[in-house]
Amino acid sequence: MFTGLIEEIGTIKSIKNIGGGKRFTISAEKIFDDLKIDDSVSINGACQTVVAINSNTFDVEAVEETLMKTTLAKFKIGKNVNLERAAKISDRLGGHIVQGHIDTTGFIKSIEKQLTGILIWVEFPIKYAKYAVEHGSITLDGISLTIARLRNNMLMVSIIPHTWKMTALRELQNGSEINIEFDIVGKYIENFMKFNNNENDSSILKNYIDQPFF
């Protein structure tokens, strides 16, 4: 689990194809004080497992499913990425509960710099609109943010100067693709309601059981 508070910006140093997946080597500085193999690290919002550590780099391996659902497949050498280690139980939850499981990707429609803040409009697939709540939480490229405005399948977030400076958001442009994770609470409630409304109907459970694994 993560909180969506970015610890530092890392850089993609190398990319190797491994079957249908990719192995990324990422350079960083701050996160090495207790980083270990098998630890989870959020990379632009996608939870990945550390498989190797060197002096100032670590490796992760993204499988086909991850590459299909996130922007990791489009990473290039030299790209800067947002990094966050998994939360500790003793930590303050400064952002919100972030799983690191990307729901979908969206596209930057506009970036408006105000006197202080920066307004970013993001377009996302319409089927996810039910999970977007005005003044609710959203995770964009691993960053915990608040939805300031909604317009059908577009949402706007207002970025403070510190977040703009300390994350890779500042490298985004109109048309940039971005990872999106919606708040897990709404998704659980939806699933609970689905079963509650059909508690005497075993057909839903049967549909789950009958779904093929492949």
138-196 confidence digits (pLDDT tens): 999 999 999 999 999 999 999 999 999 999 999 999 999 999 999 888 888 888 887 77
The closest of 86, 62, 84, 82 to 74, measured between CA atoms, is 62
Mean pLDDT of 200-210: 55
Spatial distance between the Cα atoms of 97 and 74, rounded to a whole number of angstroms? 26
Question: Model-level pTM?
Answer: 0.86
Spatial distance between the Cα atoms of 104 and 68, rounded to a whole number of angstroms? 10
Whether the CA torsion 83, 167, 7, 107 is positive or negative: it is: negative
